[in-house]
Amino acid sequence: MSKEREYKCIDCFCGAGGLALGLRRAGFSIVYSFDNDPKAIETIVSNPAYIPAHLSEVADAVSLDVPRMLEMLGLRPGETDLLAGGPPCQGFSIQRRGDDSDLRNNLVPRYFEIIRLIMPKMFVMENVPGIMGRRGREILRGCLERAAGFGYFVSERTLDAQEFGTPQRRKRIFVVGERKDHAGPLFKFPSGSSARVTVREAIGFLPPPPEDGTDHPGYRHHRRDRLSEDNLKRIRSLKEGQGRDFLPDDLLLPCHRVSSAKMGHRNVFGRMRWDSPAPTITARFDSFSRGMFGHPEQDRSVSLREGALLQSFPLDYNFAGSKVEIARQIGNAVPPRLAEALGTSLMEALKKWTS
């Protein structure tokens, strides 16, 4: 009986492993991961039940020695099945203010340079929709032209995580490339479903976390953030699904006395709805003041564990670092269920190619 072929994937900017976890479920073997955050690599290593042990390194994409990495893996250019990654996207975020020359924007061209050096059969890049806006579209267009020039069919699409079993509204751009040395293109983006997973279904079973801020004894990372007296008054004045527009005047910040129709930020100081998907989980979802991150009925922000569940991480997935570091890893991750749907489509294309 012949051994089933192994489909090898290199995971760039791996973060907490959301993309790797989904791709692993779709059948890929993760052979190398890197990130410049040591805590993210610690998270990857601490979850062997979900992402089996492999070479994982703290490394910066800019200085990554790609030939050395391929040599360590026993691979030559062209032999990797899939290169996956989501270059840090804060420089393209529509919520970001300030100078357009954010150095993180340079990581997108660098990722395409890594693609050129590795020449995988297929690649995938994830990023925020803001990359299609004023700050990012010229950078992305140039990168896609380069990829076509060194031999790839390229396609792109915006996918919403809530259409793929994730209890969260989260739109992201995915760019997929497949090498032109076969009859193609073969890849087709996955189709979403109209079914939705709600906040209640995702986190409603969890008991309240301890009042003292420690982890719940039965659920790691399930702990409450301490709210100021003013924020306690704010959250107690709101019903589920309500945000700053529903706060009484005496609890509004001076900067929020201008209508949200003019200044935006409608959902800061907000509570989630039980029977809808959650809003986008950001890197600061642990803070009630940063978005609609209040628990639907308890007077607190959602916990780290609840945020991870709303991102579709497993209940017992481990995260390394401080509260802020863990929240950043969770908020920046690709939802594993979305990654699995995309990975299944990537795997289908590769199997047609190699059959």
pLDDT tens by residue, 220-241: 999 999 999 999 999 999 999 9
Residue-wise pLDDT for 270-318, tens only, equals: 999 999 999 999 999 998 888 999 999 999 999 999 999 999 999 999 9
Active site residue 12: no
Please say if the pLDDT value at position 262 is more than 80: no
Q: E strands, the chain, where?
A: 8-12, 29-35, 55-58, 82-85, 122-127, 152-160, 171-179
Query: Is the per-residue pLDDT at 132 higher than 90?
Result: no
Choose the catalytic residue: 12, 89, 143, 255.
89
pLDDT for 266 equals 54
Residues 71-116: tens digit of each pLDDT: 999 999 999 999 999 998 655 544 444 444 555 568 999 999 999 9
At 264 the pLDDT is 45
Phi, psi of 157 (to 5 degrees): -160, 150
The two three-digit tokens of residue 131, written as one number? 């990359």
> What is the percent of the chain where pLDDT is above 70?
90
**Tens digit of pLDDT for each residue in 2-32?**
567 899 999 999 999 999 999 999 999 999 9
SS3 label, residue 269: coil
Euclidean distance between CA atoms 298 and 286, whole angstroms:
14
Instruction: Quickly count: other Cβ atoms within 10 Å of residue 64's Cβ.
Output: 17
- Tell me which architecture the domain covering 8-195+333-354 has in CATH: 3-Layer(aba) Sandwich (3.40)
**Residue range 107-124, pLDDT digits in tens:** 999 999 999 999 999 999
Dist CA 100 CA 255 (whole Å)? 24
* DSSP states along 5-47: PP-EEEEES-TTSHHHHHHHHTTPEEEEEEES-HHHHHHHHT-
The pLDDT of 253-259, averaged and rounded, is: 60
Question: What is the domain partition of the chain in residue ranges?
Answer: 8-195+333-354
Let me know: does 89 contact 130? Beta carbons within 8 Å: yes
